[in-house]
Structure 1
Amino acid sequence: MPRLLDKLAQPTRNELALYKLKGVVIVLVLALISQWLGSTKPFTSLGLGSLTLGIGLGAMIGNTLLHTLSPPVLDGVDFAKGPLLRLGVVLFGLRLTFSDIADVGVVGVVIDVVVVVSILCLAMLIGRKALGLDVQTSLLIGAGSAICGAAAILATEPVVKGAPHKVSVAIATVVTFGTLSLFAYPAIYHALPLTDAQFSLFVGATVHEVAQVVAIGSSINEHVADMAVVEKMVRVMLLAPVLMVLSSIVGRSTGDETKKVVIPWFAFVFIAVCAVNSLDFLSDLLRSWLLMVDQILLTMAMVALGLRTNLRAVCQVGKKPFLLAAVLYGVLLCGGLVLVQFAHR
């Protein structure tokens, strides 16, 4: 009799699907709220977009009300930071075309490659050897600093398999120094004898977030903003090869030589989407609609990560992740200036 009652108490497959859908809907609603907040002046002036606000809103709710959700509903939350995140990364390729590479020229591409490779190597060297951080935290902070902030961290998370609180810590570091850039970079432009071409190259090759690149460039003039964004887009395009390399690094770092290296399939699809976008097959209307969907998917992933983040675990991480991010930020500033000065001799 008890076994029969247990079977009757268990939800059916359809009920489990509805619970999971409920979790996805909760994440979607919070993502839409984050997008609305991100479009308001107080947050746009600070360069805080929907991705940053999404993880913040998710963390606040996750650490106060998450215990009220049943496990099947939480499966829907995890779906948002899993398959939906990967789809969002794939659609992110619609922001790029192969002609972007031609626009920045060989010098721009070389500078981007040097920045990405050096920052990732320094993140592993300093994070692991000097600060004693784990591989996942070091790589997440390195990817966010080297490539494109929160979006790069989100794309890297499935590869390095970092816990939600590690992802949140990494995002917090790039948000902190990315926000600082909104004030530091215009000051650098006015303090140093940089041409518009040099400054746009400097901004595109070293600033964390695409939105921050737009904000900083626009504070100077429209031409600087346009050139800086193109340089930044080429840097973003390096995301796919970086994910493949990181997959191999993480596989070796486990200490299990027999462990199979997982190749992130969505990195290949990301490149394919870039190729399709380069061929100009898509209408402007369809492309803009897909980009809107992409922004929603990425924001949903951030909300889901926030919901699953234990703020106690974040606090227990300490100052070392921020110290690593600070060192990387200093290298981006100083090294970036040296590179653009050398490139335009």
Structure 2
Amino acid sequence: MSYAKPLTPSYLPPQLPGLLLASGLALFAWWLAQQPLLQGAQLSALTVAIVIGMLIGNFAGSRLPASTGVGIALAQRQLLRLGVVLYGLRLSFQDVAAIGTTGLLLDLIIVASTLGLGTWVGRRWLGLDRDTALLTAAGSAICGAAAVLAVERVIRPDSSKVAMAVASVVLFGTLNIFLYPQLYPYLGLDAAAFGLYTGATVHEVAQVVAVGSAIGPETADAAVVVKLTRVLMLVPVLFLLGWRESRKGGGHGIVIPWFAIGFLAMVAVNSLVPVPAALKSMLLSLDTLLLATAMAALGLGTRFAKLRALGPKPLLLAAVLFLWLSIGGYALVRWLH
């Protein structure tokens, strides 16, 4: 990522210009995501932020002051970790208990099978590199863009691979918003079972809410709880990846994703401590802003030429996983429920 000469006074913190740029783009993305057109499509602030960041990075990146580079790097790393930690406030252990054995088993099978299928198809059939296959599989298996970003902090791939994985899972997750409500009358599932199906197979939390709400409250409630339990499985996945990274590096120390421990700690706080509603709402809004800032920073460092170099195969992998989640997930729900 190349920038113009620095224009920032030396007495300012070196991270400030880049942080102001990334957070300003995030706030703009947040505002855009709340407008009727984008809100109807359930495009989150995270998705909008990376698109805006990529547009500015590609068309005006060479004219950005060099002083923004330090803050942009900080947003891509530390702010992202903090955002993943606060994401844990969306879930409680009571939620996990509420879905019962069936819901928990469904989530376990979906996450494990999607990760396994995605890495196998991506590498063996499509010839993708490990990072691209793993990022796309994680986004499909767990929680869309948030999972891609969390995995990125463990395996540290090129930013273009992260952007491609985010784009592919957002595309097919958005397709679910329109497809699932149309399929509902023909699947032979009651409202609660369709909630299980939605929560276990739709990519993003916001997309799950959109699909569930289109059917009814019972579906929406079941879908959100199953989805959030699926999000909790991000923690063991990150630790497994950290262990694999340590082995790949010759066994010199275990790569411990400390932010995953923070995520679990926030789940525990949300489960055991009566957090005031106003404070929780404020922290969740801060979480959205932090993740959107990280996405904007990621977009600023991503070049279209690198995305083109990756070719159509990552998108094809996301399509294969979309079919697996839609068809295989339905078969699993019919079998378990």
**Common fold, TM-score beyond 0.5?**
yes
Whole-angstrom distance in 1 between the partners of 2:220 and 2:11: 48
- Superimposed CA distance per residue, residues 126-150 of structure 1 (whole angstroms, 9 cap, x where no aligned partner): 1111111111111110110000000
Residue of structure 1 in register with 2:170 after alignment: 175
Q: Which of 135, 139, 155 is the matching residue for 1:140?
A: 135
Residue of structure 2 in register with 1:299 after alignment: 292
Report how many aligned residue pairs link the two structures. Answer: 332
Whole-angstrom distance in 1 between the partners of 2:11 and 2:62: 18
Per-residue deviation, 1:15: 2.0
Whole-angstrom distance in 2 between the partners of 1:135 and 1:104: 33
Q: TM-score, normalised by structure 1?
A: 0.93
1:54 counterpart letter in structure 2: A
Whole-angstrom distance in 1 between the partners of 2:242 and 2:251: 14
* Contact 1:85/1:301, CA 8 A, preserved across alignment: yes
1:278 counterpart letter in structure 2: S
* Contact 1:135/1:250, CA 8 A, preserved across alignment: no
- Superimposed CA distance per residue, residues 207-261 of structure 1 (whole angstroms, 9 cap, x where no aligned partner): 0000000000111112211110011010001111111112223444x4x434543
RMSD: 1.7
Q: Which of 30, 38, 42 is the matching residue for 1:35?
A: 30
- Does residue 96 (structure 1) correspond to residue 96 (structure 2)? The answer is no
Q: Structure 2: any 5+ residue segments left out of the alignment?
A: none
* Contact 2:21/2:68, CA 8 A, preserved across alignment: no
Per-residue deviation, 1:14: 8.1
1:184-263 matches, cutoff 5 A: 184-252=179-247, 254=248, 256-263=249-256
Whole-angstrom distance in 1 between the partners of 2:188 and 2:64: 57
Residue of structure 1 in register with 2:123 after alignment: 128
1:38-57 matches, cutoff 5 A: 38-57=33-52
- Does residue 87 (structure 1) correspond to residue 82 (structure 2)? The answer is yes
1:314 counterpart letter in structure 2: L
- Superimposed CA distance per residue, residues 252-290 of structure 1 (whole angstroms, 9 cap, x where no aligned partner): 4x4x43454311011011111110110133211111111
Whole-angstrom distance in 2 between the partners of 1:147 and 1:243: 11
Per-residue deviation, 1:18: 3.2
Q: Secondary structure at the match of 2:43?
A: coil
* Contact 2:199/2:208, CA 8 A, preserved across alignment: yes
State which drifts further: 239-248 or 203-212: 239-248
Q: Secondary structure at the match of 2:127?
A: coil
2:297 counterpart letter in structure 1: A
Per-residue deviation, 1:71: 3.2
1:281 counterpart letter in structure 2: P
Whole-angstrom distance in 1 between the partners of 2:234 and 2:40: 27
Whole-angstrom distance in 2 between the partners of 1:304 and 1:200: 35
Q: Which of 291, 300, 310 is the matching residue for 2:303?
A: 310
Q: Secondary structure at the match of 2:10?
A: helix
Whole-angstrom distance in 1 between the partners of 2:41 and 2:308: 24
Q: Residues 134 and 226 from structure 1, CA distance in 2 versus in 1: closer, same or farther, beyond 3 angstroms?
A: same
Per-residue deviation, 1:98: 0.3
Per-residue deviation, 1:327: 0.8
Whole-angstrom distance in 2 between the partners of 1:123 and 1:229: 24
Residue of structure 1 in register with 2:71 after alignment: 76
Q: TM-score, normalised by structure 2?
A: 0.95
Q: Structure 1: any 5+ residue segments left out of the alignment?
A: 1-9
Residue of structure 1 in register with 2:314 after alignment: 321
Identity value in percent: 46
Whole-angstrom distance in 2 between the partners of 1:121 and 1:316: 25
1:132 counterpart letter in structure 2: G
Whole-angstrom distance in 2 between the partners of 1:33 and 1:174: 22
